[in-house]
Structure 1
């Protein structure tokens, strides 16, 4: 295993009350970025990051902008400390930060697009209410079958996040979610419970958001990535940036293929994964899938302040991804 490092960026669900205090630790440029985001999005970003309760932060219109700002600030600080990734990827929303990191998108455009994305998804969630549930410890084929069985009449359930071989998230109507949870528990799942999210993201219930974003994304210029970029929509390297535009649009209704994304990065020789953003959900999932690799939070990497090739041996942390998944998902 080589010591090459990839930056991975989290999505919605990694926000938390008081996250502005940590943002301030990233320095004056981070605070300036928050103010810039206020001008572009019309949201009081700094106040929301510092004072908003968890219920307010769960609104996708708010959460997505805050996570993007925090992740962009982390990206800037990691670069200043000398980190240079060999590849980048993002979990759903995190893909917009990855596009900035690989040079395909500028910060201002990313902020504008994510604000639009959050509004579209919030509107769709209000018009077609639904939910999400984490299923841990069942084979993927079993979970897919349970979703099919629960999808009757107007009800729908689909696999929304392929987070790891043992952790999947399903999304759909509330009644379908309850049936999937009950069936998964009966089938021997280690965990099967609803997640505290405001909608059925990455499911057909987001079709309205998909339609609202079509024109907005259609005219956005995307440059060819300067470093390898792996899409969580396909789990593969992006080789045709124009074709990828369709994947980026489909993201709100398509499942997140995070396990495939990590597999692709690992096959490239990635030995260090830096979660450039708030939280440590992706690090927990990474430890589950690639135990031999080193998995660092933003703060871990900033405190080491060294280029990847100078780092010591693999990380041996035992943080459980399951614990985070009970409380959060990323979209």
Structure 2
């Protein structure tokens, strides 16, 4: 089969999910690409990312985020050799958009590390003062019309909610107040849906426009965004970004615009992509029907993570 018949290749950096230090430690300590990137991150931040990750207080602590970023990019460093092809497009839903911007050389790796660390602190400060009860909850097997009925009931109770992401058919992220989460989960179960997990800090909600403004004012002013060397597919709407302004906008949109994986899938298919290389630990985007139905999937993960399936 020729390369033309095989179609193009896209590189995808996944959103960040809980990943145990024990599963990542050996890869970070022994992989030459990871060691090189960790050394740069340590120099930028002035501390040992590895040592702080070892004792990180939660799955999304600043040090855990940096370690996840390092692992995803280190895996991608050798992807071309393993794939035998150069990716034609790069994308990254949610947290993955930072690694995507770095891989496309729209952000330097040093600036990506600095951006990630400072945004972690920025989010912590913001949610300590505003939207303190907000969480983002993941539901599956819940058709959109059925979800709308449950959300209408929530609105009748005078409660706030935002759609924070559409992942696949019947698969959504919903942001709402934690005090009504148990009621919401109960209603999802009542209508035949399934509750997956709840995230804090919450993400991608239009109500968090204040976080966007805070991040832009306090973090992005010191970060240089350049035109990408490789087209970047925005995770909010699947648009193809080829200039610095577009990438910068995508990075800011993450705070107050929902992600939309089906739009990414549609763009990749329109561009002739047949093979998707996912670089990093993921239990979400590699498992949904829209990914498996349309692409040959290559998933690069640290050995211990692969072993956990």
| 2:260 equivalent in structure 1 | 257
Corresponding residue of 1:120: 122
Counterpart mapping for 1:184-195 below 5 A: 184-189=188-193, 191-195=194-198
Give the match for residue 71 of structure 2.
70
Q: What residue is the counterpart of 1:20 in the other structure?
A: 25
Shift of the alpha carbon at 1:273? 1.0
- With normalisation by structure 1, the TM-score equals 0.79
- Change beyond 3 A, Cα 1:183–1:97: same
Specify the SS of the correspondent of 1:5.
Answer: strand
Give the TM-score, by structure 2 length: 0.84
Could you tell me which residue of structure 2 aligns to residue 306 of structure 1? none
CA distance in structure 2 between the partners assigned to 1:98 and 1:289 by the alignment: 18
1:47 to 31, 46, 51: 51
Q: Is the 8 A contact 2:143 2:170 kept in 1?
A: yes
Question: 1:265 deviation in Å?
Answer: 0.9
Which residue is 1:267 aligned to?
A: 270
Give the deviation of 1:299 after TM superposition: 4.7
Matched, 1:177 2:203: no
Task: Please name the residue that 2:299 is paired with.
Answer: 297
Are 1:236 and 2:227 an aligned pair?
Answer: no
1:244 and 1:252 map into 2 onto residues whose CA distance is: 14
Contact residue 156 and residue 176 of structure 1 kept, 8 A? no
Query: What is the CA-CA distance between 1:60 and the residue it aligns to?
Result: 4.1
SS in 1 for 2:63: helix
After the TM superposition, which residues 102-181 of structure 1 pair with which residues of structure 2 at under 5 Å, given as runs? 102-127=104-129, 128-151=132-155, 155-181=159-185
Equivalent position SS for 1:246: helix
Do the aligned residues in 1 keep the contact of 2:89 with 2:233 (CA within 8 Å)?
yes
Name the Cα RMSD after superposition. Answer: 2.8
- Output one character per residue of 1:116-164: Cα deviation in whole Å (capped at 9) or x when no partner: 1111122233331322222111222432453354246874222212111
Post-superposition offset of 1:113: 0.7
- Per-residue Cα deviation, 1:277-298 (whole angstroms, up to 9, x for no partner): 123432113x544424211111
Structure 1 position 108, deviation (Å): 0.6
Q: CA deviation at 1:201?
A: 1.6
Q: Is the 8 A contact 2:228 2:243 kept in 1?
A: no
Structure 2 residues not aligned, in runs of 5+: none
**2:134 and 2:178 in contact (8 A); partners too:** yes
Residue in 1 aligned with 2:287?
284
Structure 1 unaligned regions, length at least 5 = 303-318, 325-331
